[in-house]
Chains A and B, each alone.
Chain A
């Protein structure tokens, strides 16, 4: 089945220790998104790639970076995690340009704990 996969599902890191979260997709979607979601809050868009074009949200801290080496994979790098970065990180994909709705499909998420 076509899907969005995130690894790891759970990540524990220490304060200030860099961490990388990964996302892969078999949907062949051209847009990949990274969201941060904290308890009882809406998902917050950090950035997204439209094909190879990187689009950063204005309020995304510099501590967060992303890479998309090819269509299928996208990575979220947190250079120096702080306690406030503990959250669920969601990867989503959509196909833009060919469909009217551009609905997003989410991966299972990575729960990040910062000690």
Chain B
């Protein structure tokens, strides 16, 4: 089992819909969870982080964490074509590690 798994996609949603991106992780003691957006040919940009079970909202973005089931998700409400990008999930494991492990990302396409 990979340490951080994401469906590579592409996930295609119509403009205005909710896009749901999922990420599972193998280390049960993982502490911090990050979502990065990466446009084609560009570098990753941090959009959300979460460390407590439950939901965290920031504008159109909501991160959801369920440590018991070892998954973290990112919801994008009112999806726009400009949201089309690859979304990388990163997980900081237990044991004092400060280095996150990245998933390979999910490609999101928002079509008009």
Contact = CB atoms under 8 A, between A and B. Distances in A.
A100 B4 CA distance: 20
Contacts of B105: 40, 42
Given A103-B34, A103-B46, A103-B49, A42 B98 contact: no
Interface in B72-91: 88, 90
A76 to B, nearest CB: 15
B63 to A, nearest CB: 12
A111 B41 CA distance: 9
Nearest to B100: A104
A68 B34 CA distance: 26
A40 B10 CA distance: 11
Give 7 closest A-B pairs by Cβ, nearest first: A42-B102, A106-B43, A109-B43, A42-B104, A96-B98, A102-B98, A101-B32
Interface of A: 31, 33, 40-43, 45, 48, 88, 90, 94, 96, 100-109, 111
5 contacts: A31-B98, A42-B88, A100-B32, A100-B51, A103-B46
